[in-house]
Structure 1
């Protein structure tokens, strides 16, 4: 008989134990999680006790409200939209809806779950649900965070406020984002979207409020725990909610019984699927979009709002939203609104499609604050560009002014005057002054038009200026046909002034040899030139139109050298001839003769003939 080895089941037992332990752990974790969730739900973290809050009186409310939260077109009709205010804890400013409570509320699990989800919902475009106070003082309070700029309806019907395309796009975008979050969250839908259930905070961000709670309110009222009709004056759900709210309700959600004339929901409505309720949100959103764009309801203007609300509650098919004639609207956006207002829920677009379409049609880029920041950035960039351009223009204008000023005054004098410093008179021990004059100028003028004379002098003096610019010389002034030049003033240059003036004189004569009178091509322009060397006084004369003037016997002597000279000759004084001979012998002069100079008596004069460029070679 053979002996078989005994089987070892240790590994199997261990494996089974591990699997059993894992299953037990999973089941325990599930039960523990459910227990924690149930405990958390039963703890009601959203509950607010009356001792933890302080009701704010009307005077305090007025100081808190934004200036933009004013009475609207609807409130002027008697349906006040102002909410109650309270301070929760230390400084949390809240608004609340107040319901009269007939008996203690017993929360179903679905109510606890919903309120927990509402408390945990966080989104930039959702107004935070702060909590609920109940079973105290026979009142139920739904608490929401306060938004300082009031409701969207306040802004829409405030005719003193201008809403442009940036506001339209930003407001529609914000509502889309908030509604899209609700539709994709475990809350599922809004349920009561209107222009007064959309708030605007201090940063101009639109936030949805009153979301998700409509089912529970309807159920508590049906069970007799609260009353909707007994709300205090000033609570919007007692007025506009019951009368105007029906205009936002999709036709498939309206009922023709007496109850639904006062409230929007009954048991049959509650049995609708989330998809149909989301579709109803889209219908309501279409109404709100139209209000934003056109600051009016998309209903017939032949009926007032009260009549429209009554007919809508009765299920009158005449009450259907439509775009008013003459309204300027993008064709694609019009088609989108018509889809939103469709009687068939399946035809209405999803919130994602609405968001993408409105962003395209309204050219929405970010929130209103983002748009304002971009606008400010564009303005700053444009302003910077404009400042750069204007600065360039200013610099160019300054350069032109500097050039013009330097042409009217010596550069040194111009810079001193620009700096606001006075330029005192100055005596220069030695300088050379040159005068030129057109021979027969009076006769030429008598046979020419003034414009021809001006053109001729402009051509002549432009050539003279070009000559002067090549040397250390300064044109003092021109008076008619007289042209005055100096060297050695205002910048002293030793004894070089005599050489510069001599060069200028010879080059001017050479220029005149080739010059043609514009209106007398066959006639040659002849000039007399004369210069003298000696001490000169210089000063800026005048305030409104300052001029740089030269004074002294040297100036008078130079003028006499020109006036007593001969046509096409350069007459110089004895002093000028002596300085040229001592310092610049390459300049060739010819003795003229002695002439009578007024105030000076008999004086020897000379003609400057030429500049011998080979003089120094010959001397070698």
Structure 2
């Protein structure tokens, strides 16, 4: 089994969950490796969903809770939902990546009861499976995605559509995908010229302090869903979101000469038209001297997070066409 095949299995499960989450059922409720069936075409089909009301009156084995979210283990009467599906999805993904049963129980180093009790505890560092990829060339982003999906807080687990976006980005570079198909490893690549875009919500701490956790999560989810829809129109690669920070880049993984700064500039103006956008001196030089067609205004030296004091400029917009 190679990295591309592993990715394909994970993507099939994601597509199945996406369909269920959009359907009147709204959630699976019993996702685990035994409910993921492989067809004769090596595609995964989801099974045993939509039976939550019947399952309440059936006797469950201890092992069945290995895929259950912590909130369900603590209170079996908690309603299953999309967030609990996402946690179960992460556990199944860990099985696929490690090529071992859930929680590496094949080694018999600990019992299912012991594992469930440790998951149930509210430890500062939640107990989760160890991710030890058994295949070479696996994109590290998959590991990060799995860790996000089994977050202790159900409100911080990504929605299935966000997961689909991340998985699509993993194989966006066609050359990388082709190498993975034939089992080749992908060596690190150096990029001499790229443009990085990082945004955050002004006074986010104050805003978060005035709202409930659910309101904050909804705010960020709606904001990033809007952003994701806009950046799809540009040659821009979404790297990650951390809290209120939104990070993307152009010129990587696909090189595009000096056009990366133009794509980031146009995307920035599309994201937020009324607020000011500051850019570095290098970006200013490329936009005004090399590429041309943009108006900027000197902002002066500013303390930039992670960079120190830098000379910056305001990006005003494209030069109006008077013809």
- TM-score (normalised: structure 1): 0.25
Higher relative contact order at CA 8 Å, sep ≥6: structure 1 or structure 2? 2
- TM-score (normalised: structure 2): 0.46
Q: Which has the larger radius of gyration?
A: 1
